A = this chain, B = another copy of it.
Amino acid sequence: MKSPIPDYLADVLDAVRGIEDGAPADYIDVLARADVSRLAVALATVDGEVYAVGDHDVEFSIQSISKPFAYALAIEDNGLDRVLERVGVEPSGNAFNELSLEAGSHRPMNPMINAGAIATHALVATPGASREARITRFVDVMSRLAGRPLSVDEAVFDAELRDGNRNMGLGYMLKAGGMLDCDPGEAVSGYIRQCSVNVNVRDLALMAATLANAGQQPQTGEPIFPASSVRQVLSVMTSCGMYDAAGDWITTVGIPAKSGVAGGIIGALPGQLGLAVFSPRLDGHGNSVRGVAVCERLSRDMGLHMMDVSQIGRSLVHVLEATLGGGARQDGEDVVPIYELRGAVRFGGAELLTRHLARDFGTSEGQDDGIGTYAGARAVILSLRHTHSLSDVAQRVLRENIRRLHDDGRDVVVIDPSGVLDLAPIEADKRPVAVDDDEAARHHVGGTHCRLVSSREPAD
């Protein structure tokens, strides 16, 4: 069987091929000469599968799509606070090449407009680094993101530099406002070099997928950016990535994104996938016309909109019962409930478990629900066998539940073969007890047999 996914993507490309609106960027000859028939799309999943169709091997200059990655590097090299002193995070409402400094401060509004991107570029690598050091660092990281060595297109660089007066203007303005430490000319030529790195949609899709994958390159597994940087980058892409069409994009496509003047667009859907499209004709905002059309269609067809609430992913809690002793169940005190948490547990799952526990072990005081089902049980088993992960808050809530059950005088045993629960002492010298399987758990609480008495749905 052949996968239908490439066929689907090819269909999407065919559907937009008829769109002939827009024109390639014409401010430099090397972009103006672009073959406007070129069209490509690539999808990379967070586990590293890449689907690429159309002209997926054709290279083009990354241009402004470099901005979010340089921003991530600047955060890594300076810390977020220092970066925020130099570049803001608010949408400017203006075109990408406007100065758009914040009233009061002299900060450019955000790192996705040129002024902000120049200030950002100057923060890459160590303070006082040379232009070469900054570019070397940038190209190195971009190559690791793409999973192959990338390089600068010198023809594009030369042409952009010759035509770089507006960016030079921005650079000197930034310098005048105290937003640049280095020489403005050096910052601008470095920024232009950053924009001249050649990529194809496959590279871009992997870069986007790295953002979607919390900073870890999906294929190599290399942790390239910390999750906190990625969160910042994706947030800024959400509000500022598509220039003054940000609101339109967020309502119709709903994926954090960034476009480049050579015709590329990336989108990164947290936890799911990265996508990239390429087509040289641009609309009035500077975004690829067919690229936008592809993204709208993928978002609609594939339900990628981040506000699409149909994506509700509930963590499930199953409740089973084990009887203690070998005999038939005779009264409540012999029963040990088993609470099983499934999937990637975040606040929602932890809250749901807590709700069960609070009800089932409720005493009359202060509880609406009266005496709980297991008020008399002397032990509890938490099964994390099907729990893929616990978020920080889930971790804290679970540990707090264990502490409270202990305080009530109950034994708590956790079945945790993968070790997702933090076993650090909860208070003083009390450490959660974790075992590897049901048998061990039953043994621990003194039971000899485990049988499913009832599977209760969470909302009962």
Which of B251, B347, B388, B404 lies in contact with A314, CB distance below 8 A? Answer: B388
Q: What is the distance, in angstroms, from A295's C-beta to the closest C-beta of chain B?
A: 14
Which of B231, B240, B302 lies in contact with A254, CB distance below 8 A? Answer: B231
Q: What is the distance, in angstroms, from A376's C-beta to the closest C-beta of chain B?
A: 13
What are the residues of chain B within 8 A of A89 when measuring CB–CB?
247-248, 250-251
- Give per-residue flags for A228-264: 1 if the beta carbon is below 8 A from chain B beta carbons, else 0: 0011101110111000111110110010100000000
> In the complex, which of the residues A47, A170, A240, A307 has the most CB atoms of chain B within 10 Å of its own CB atom?
A307
**B-binding residues in A (CB < 8 A):** 1-5, 8, 45-49, 88-93, 99, 110, 165-166, 168-176, 184, 211-215, 227, 230-232, 234-236, 238-240, 244-248, 250-251, 254, 256, 270-273, 301-314, 316, 343-344, 346-348, 351-352, 354-355, 357-358, 361-362, 366-367, 388-389, 391-393, 396-397, 400-401, 404-405, 408, 458-459
What are the residues of chain B within 8 A of A408 when measuring CB–CB?
1
Q: What separation, in Å, do the CA atoms of A362 and B405 have in the docked complex?
A: 53
What are the residues of chain B within 8 A of A351 when measuring CB–CB?
5, 45, 49
Q: What separation, in Å, do the CA atoms of A367 and B270 have in the docked complex?
A: 29
What are the residues of chain B within 8 A of A343 when measuring CB–CB?
313, 343
Q: What separation, in Å, do the CA atoms of A234 and B310 have in the docked complex?
A: 13
Q: What separation, in Å, do the CA atoms of A110 and B449 have in the docked complex?
A: 62
> In the complex, which of the residues A49, A89, A168, A235 has the most CB atoms of chain B within 10 Å of its own CB atom?
A235
Whether the pair A358, B393 counts as a contact (CB closer than 8 A) is no
User: Given that A5-B354, A307-B231, A344-B314 are contacting pairs, would A90 and B93 also be in contact in the complex, using a CB cutoff of 8 Å?
Assistant: yes
What are the residues of chain B within 8 A of A91 when measuring CB–CB?
91, 93, 239, 246-247
Closest to A166 in B: B176
Whether the pair A357, B1 counts as a contact (CB closer than 8 A) is yes
Q: What is the distance, in angstroms, from A202's C-beta to the closest C-beta of chain B?
A: 14
Q: What is the distance, in angstroms, from A189's C-beta to the closest C-beta of chain B?
A: 13
What are the residues of chain B within 8 A of A405 when measuring CB–CB?
1
Q: What separation, in Å, do the CA atoms of A171 and B166 have in the docked complex?
A: 9
Closest to A51 in B: B351
Q: What is the distance, in angstroms, from A221's C-beta to the closest C-beta of chain B?
A: 10
What are the residues of chain B within 8 A of A309 when measuring CB–CB?
211-215, 227, 230-231, 234, 270-271
Which of B49, B92, B361 lies in contact with A1, CB distance below 8 A? Answer: B361
Whether the pair A4, B397 counts as a contact (CB closer than 8 A) is yes
What are the residues of chain B within 8 A of A168 when measuring CB–CB?
172, 175-176, 184
What are the residues of chain B within 8 A of A459 when measuring CB–CB?
47-48
Closest to A271 in B: B312
Whether the pair B301, A393 counts as a contact (CB closer than 8 A) is yes
Whether the pair B404, A227 counts as a contact (CB closer than 8 A) is no
Q: What separation, in Å, do the CA atoms of A355 and B46 have in the docked complex?
A: 14
Q: What separation, in Å, do the CA atoms of A392 and B310 have in the docked complex?
A: 10
What are the residues of chain B within 8 A of A458 when measuring CB–CB?
47
